[in-house]
Structure 1
Amino acid sequence: MAIPEFILDLRKDVGTKELWLPAVRGVVVRRHDDAGRRLPSPEVLLVKRSDNGAWTVTAGILEPGEQPASGAVREIQEETGVIARPVRVAGVFATHRVEYSNGDSCRYLDTVLEMEYVSGDPHPADDESVDAGWFSVAALPEPMSADQKRVVDWALDAGAPARFSS
């Protein structure tokens, strides 16, 4: 996974100690086909991660000063080639502690955004994923964590207020 330059700079000072990082997850929902017909079941854009083979929504660390909506648009386009626009904040939560194989440790404060598909054909647009595509919410691929399924559910509940984990 590409580590942002500012994280590499921080790691020079703090080593592998746990960092608290702002992140965003963009759940791109498609409810109509290219001809404008309503799909029988909504679809979500997912990527298959290159590091662990898991299916996930598009996610990433926000750059210093970057707004969550702008970060979600950027991450989705960088990772899948798809253009999407933010609809609403679907939820906010802190992840469990994540420890990487190099010893780095962090927790993410994730802002989950429901995103609307605008254009583009999904494909793995960088080295972070090996596959990307649309999946019916009635038949999500495996492996996919309960955490990922939860944020998809949050985004599909159109118009609902933002959710917060306790």
Structure 2
Amino acid sequence: MAPTPEFIRDLRTHIGTSDLWIPAVRGVVLRRRVGDVDLPEPEVLLVRRSDNGAWTVTSGILDPGEQPGKGAVREVAEETAVLARPVRVAGVFATHLVQYANGDRCRFLDTVLEMEPVEGEPRVNDDESVDVGWFSVSALPEPLAEDQRMVIDWALDAGAPAQLLME
């Protein structure tokens, strides 16, 4: 499990393991060219989580008052050592109920941002992941959950309005 921010630990002292609504961000970093060469298809930057071995886009909990764009830039840099910039909001959705081994329950409101790399080579940059790399969108690694595929598809739909789940 990713480190729990101090402000959430403080909240838990008051509410115990009750459901908690948490604002979060997912940064879908897409690379369409390397140097002066256009890639045949986009690549997406993914991390392999240390807690469950799943491949994911970069994501994290927003700090109190933090703007989603700033949070996404921070999360990508913390997890991958890549500096990326937000391009657009690709979508917003609420996750299903998540229950951790310690009994804590929460739902995340995820703002999904399409991002592009500015500089840096990807590497494991914290203890939240065990691997990181660029993957062609037609050859994504497993395990990769359906919600991860969904947000990658949203980001790939360049110029489209933000996606909103209605169910």
Counterpart Cα distance in 2 of 1:36 and 1:131: 27
Counterpart Cα distance in 1 of 2:33 and 2:164: 29
Other-structure match for 1:73: 73
Matches within 5 A, 1:122-133: 122-133=122-133
Is 1:19–2:20 an aligned residue pair?
Answer: yes
Counterpart Cα distance in 1 of 2:73 and 2:149: 20
Once the two structures are superposed, residues 1-36 of structure 1 have per-residue CA deviations (whole angstroms, 9 ceiling, x without a partner) of 111110010011111111000000000000001x22
Counterpart Cα distance in 2 of 1:38 and 1:158: 16
Question: Residue 16 of structure 2 aligns to which amino acid in structure 1?
Answer: G
Is 1:5–2:6 an aligned residue pair?
Answer: yes
Question: Residue 8 of structure 1 aligns to which amino acid in structure 2?
Answer: R
Other-structure match for 2:165: 165
Shift of 1:92: 0.2
Counterpart Cα distance in 2 of 1:128 and 1:20: 22
Shift of 1:41: 1.0
Counterpart Cα distance in 1 of 2:23 and 2:67: 10
**TM-score normalised by the chain length of structure 1:** 0.98
Give the gaps of 5 or more residues in structure 2. none
Shift of 1:63: 0.3
Once the two structures are superposed, residues 48-98 of structure 1 have per-residue CA deviations (whole angstroms, 9 ceiling, x without a partner) of 000000000000000000000000000000011000000000000000000
Counterpart Cα distance in 2 of 1:99 and 1:120: 35
Other-structure match for 1:30: 31
Counterpart Cα distance in 1 of 2:101 and 2:57: 22
Counterpart Cα distance in 2 of 1:132 and 1:156: 20
Number of equivalent positions: 165
Counterpart Cα distance in 2 of 1:99 and 1:15: 13
